[in-house]
Structure 1
């Protein structure tokens, strides 16, 4: 569930789902000690005064259910019943200061490896105001993205260059030109398309921006293209500067590839919206008793500077259920701090098309989102331009509360898309 904070806490707080074959209270205290002043044996200097100043605390422990055996292998070799609990730990700010990289070591470090732990998932984090003061958050967010894309009061209708890889620069530019003529708002590189010899980044950017700028000169509206500049810091800086010179209005980075420091630095030197791709999210989250919840994870990246955050999509091609997708999108639209919302635009992707529009709008209750439909646009029977038109019409119908079949009666693009998606 998405948490809504009315005020920033004075200490760092983190909520966990814990499973243990031992006493949950003792295991929680072990976690607190391991992640602050304690270790596996008493050490000289760990005085009561030091503990009072620096130790983590178990703020809350709510017992949940029991299970007949451990979810994950127990390093202690213990089988038999296990207990689960929701645990809240807190740390004094003076242990680490407002540092996101060191925050990760504190709230998501060695505690995953403790012997008494047979399941642990980080559910949520709450941060003091000092983090808001230390990090910029999204520079563009929802309002800036809408301004640059020239889209108000509806979702940004977008797509991914497909096939994901294989096109050269001119083939990519030709496809983007047809999408521009078809009325697309947003186009992104696939995360697999980077800077390979067959489609070098620089050549691709120049070719694509040539057609994007020409279209903008004719129509007064510039399509937003998120170019994948994922690389090391020097590469990303150089690629960013090329995007600025060519008049691009967005850049894309793979979060798990560039890492937290890479995202922080990209936000510091960058002057374009950051489209943050979450590829690899499954290895952090797919097991329900290991890793991260999206609620906690996305807060780190928003504060670091991500403007757009991928959240999967309804009826997607992956393993995530619809409720999880909607919760993820809602939390991107939930303020992080009372005076610094740090809102990011959720990006719906993965097998999206016209049929998901009504359910997505009904569940989210907002049009502050980007829909990136690859096959849902590219595979339209009448071509990509008709795919763009159909997806926009589907969202018009969803917002108006009109069933898709009724809205499609005198709209052939939507009608054909519904038939193809049946």
Structure 2
């Protein structure tokens, strides 16, 4: 019988074996007391199973309030469930692996660190329809990262003002532009007006230059709204749409993916409340697998030396996790999106750590605030990546690139 697995970092004052058994029972066939009908045959068919329990030693005070008191220990816990319990249903997978666990008084801390699915489960999910190869085909960018940016100010520009900015960015040689996650369908910049104004500019540049910039329009909303907005982008010749994962939920993304004919750029805004405490919530590798299975083609991973609290090591681990297959022969790989305070300076560290160019490198101020203008900002990023891949240092590359030298003076 096919099974899926969840791996956790557990803190508990209970004996580890007892805590693991309580968690497994709570999330499958058991309850806090034996009940009629909970037969051995039923348990064999439907109960969660403890696959691994590794004592990691004592830990300080509990990560969660209200937990049972006593000396605390950490453990690596792996549970598995029959796929027959949930069927191929990501919302019910989420209820199983991250449902009534964090509330248990046996649990003083719990973090979901990984998920593993059998190939038949992965095959039954939508998965990325475009991913890396499809994104490269639509953007025409090969052999290097897509250089991208975010419309700033995040919100407040009209459709015409947004289109004017897009005109400037297309002239600057940008590959990829996205709406900010705050810009969806407000009265100042209605979605339909923005799509028509922006795509008129993009089509005009494509006809004159042969380069069609990819723009991720934020269509976050209710399911019917997202479908209609997607169709408008498609009719206008757009090549990407964007949704906010934590706003639309798994069912929203599943509905969009099954309807969509375009890549889906998934924003992770709200990620901090799921992850910031090291003993609670989710590791990115686990959380992102659900969204990859649901059909995300691009996923944000933050960026090196970012403006948030995340370490560089965590950022790179997140990007690497997106590039790992979900299961063979169904890889379900999504394209990492590096953003948050990125400039040409971070290209060198990103390349050194990742050794891949299959990513979108999105810089807002790193392009728009360049002292010689947006075109120089875009050029500085391209030159930086070319130099990094050639094994040059930032200082060496800056001697041969005026745009990169100016970026070093601006951001260094």
TM-score, with normalisation over the residues of structure 2?
0.99
Q: Specify the SS of the correspondent of 1:174.
A: helix
- Corresponding residue number in structure 2 for 1:6: none
Q: How far off is 1:45 after superposition? A: 0.5
Residue of structure 1 aligned with 2:143, choices 153, 178, 194: 153
How far off its partner does 1:48 sit? 1.1
Structure 1 segments, 4+ long, off by >2 Å, are none
Question: Partner residue of 1:5?
Answer: none
2:378 corresponds in structure 1 to 388
Question: Could you tell me which residue of structure 1 aligns to residue 101 of structure 2?
Answer: 111
Shift in Å, 1:68: 3.9
Structure-2 residue corresponding to 1:318: 308
- Of 360, 366, 370, 1:376 maps to 366
Correspondence 1:355 to 2:363: no
1:56 touches 1:89 (CA, 8 Å); kept in 2? yes
1:169-208 mapped onto 2 (5 Å cutoff)? 169-208=159-198
Q: State how far apart, in whole Å, the 1-side matches of 2:24 and 2:118 are.
A: 19
**1:289 partnered with 2:279:** yes
> Partners in 1 of 2:375 and 2:55 — Cα distance?
54
Aligned residues of 1:99 and 1:131 also touching (Cα < 8 A): no
Gapped runs of 5+ residues in structure 1? 1-8
Unaligned runs of 5+ in 2: none
Q: Does residue 1:100 correspond to 2:90, yes or no?
A: yes
Selected match of 2:33 from 38, 41, 59: 41
Residue matched to 1:252: 242
**Corresponding residue of 2:23:** 31
Given that 2:119 and 2:330 are in contact with CA atoms closer than 8 Å, whether structure 1 keeps it comes out as: no
Quote the offset at 1:53 in angstroms: 1.1
Q: Which residue is equivalent to 2:122?
A: 132
**Residue 75 of structure 1: how far off its partner (Å):** 4.1
Mapped partners of 1:355, 1:310: distance in 2: 19
2:321 pairs, out of 320, 328, 331, with 331
Give the corresponding residue for 1:233: 223
Q: Distance in 2 between matches of 1:89 and 1:66?
A: 21
Instruction: Indicate conservation of the 8 Å contact 1:74/1:116, yes or no.
Output: no
Return the TM-score normalized by structure 1. 0.96
Aligned partners of 1:378 and 1:319: how far apart in 2?
A: 24
Q: What count of residue pairs does the alignment treat as equivalent?
A: 412
When structure 1 is superposed on structure 2, of 61-70 and 276-285 the one drifting more is: 61-70
What RMSD, in angstroms, separates the aligned Cα atoms of the two structures? 1.0
Q: Secondary structure at the match of 2:399?
A: coil
